[in-house]
Amino acid sequence: MFKKLKEIKDVLLGGEIVVADTSGYPSKEDFYIDDSIQSQSSGDVFDVLSLCQNKEIKCLDCGHVRLIDVMPRICPVGNTADFAIVQAARVSYGDGTKTVNEDRGLIRYLMRHSHTTPFEMVEFKFHCKMPIFVSRQWIRHRTSSVNEYSGRYSIMKDNFYYPEIQDIRKQSMHNKQGSEDFMSSTCAEEFLNNLNEICQTAYNYYEKNIENGMTREQARMILPVNLYTEWYWKIDLHNLFHFLALRCDSHAQKEIRVFADAILELITPIVPVAVEAWNDYHPMRQALKLTSLEIDVIKSSLHGKKVENLKTLNSREKQEWIQKAERLGLEVK
């Protein structure tokens, strides 16, 4: 079932992965890959992380998102990590589809019909540095693995987030958790001056208490939430898409949206077909979800109207549109 892959060090670019040569475990020369990878690539594989040319994106004034690792790390030449999605899906159908074009069609079908499990076969690990108030929103996405910098074990760094003067916003009058428009330059400048003074006073007192012997776990209580923290964050693609749908949205707070946008930029070259399908079919991206009441309005207003078929070569998707059009009281030409 398995075939041996020789000279793994030539595939893992730059020595970024180290396979331990420990007794009882495979050495680099004994590294194995699945038959399906070997057969698709005629033995030629590569490090999929090499598809991401820029593995770190700066966010805010001192933050960043850095792509550390991806699973699968080794992919057949001519493929991306998208292949792991169809590889998992095909286990239900035997050999199934074979070509890259058929792979794209299958991934789009899976996304369109919310078959989410195959997308969980791709995982990403990031190193992220963000203000604490951003991390508190971020951690609400619980289906992931997180290991954060500890203020109990380590001294918190004198590193605070200070927004640009043009980024100080007014409270929205229509959304209790949102913002709109901007504060006057006078008010914004006053806020930033006070913020800087408060942060430096708080950090100096934090350091003083540490020097006086206070435990770190209590001394940190005085530090404001615009202090930077950092963590390693691992998440599968299905749950990452959910995170991105919410946090890339225009209604998300700007300070977390810049991190979500950076993550999307980092993963796109790794799973381009899955990202394309997500953009096309997710209701918080370019698609639209209709309620039964909305469907009734369309049916009563446009009943019998003739509409064009989809501009796609995918016959299955065209047939699905015909069925949807019928539900809307429309007739496809």
Is the separation of the CB atoms in 69 and 125 below 8 Å?
yes
Q: Helix or strand or coil: residue 234? A: strand
What's 98's DSSP letter? -
Cβ burial, residue 64 (10 Å; 0-12/13-18/19+): middle
- Paired strand residues for 56: 66
Catalytic entry in 247, 285, 316, 327: 247
Q: How many CA atoms lie within 13 A of 252 on its CB side?
A: 19
| Alpha carbon separation from 156 to 56, 153, 159, 280 (Å, rounded) | 23, 9, 8, 43
**Annotated catalytic, 247?**
yes
Q: Which residue has the tokens 């209790």?
A: 176
Sequence-ordered list of residues with C-beta below 8 angstroms from that of 93, at least 6 positions apart, any chain: none
Nearest by Cα to 65 from 263, 202, 234 = 263
Gap between the Cα atoms of 28 and 45, Å rounded: 15
* 253, 142 contact by CB (below 8 A): no
Q: What pairing do the DSSP bridges indicate for beta strands 331-332 and 306-307? A: parallel
Q: Which two tokens stand for residue 108?
A: 């789009």
Cβ(128)–Cβ(242) below 8 Å: no
Q: Which long-range contacts (CB under 8 A, 24 or more apart) does 32-35 make?
A: 32/2, 32/3, 32/4, 32/5, 33/2, 33/3, 33/5, 33/74, 34/1, 34/2, 34/87, 35/1, 35/2, 35/3
Active-site amino acid positions: 247
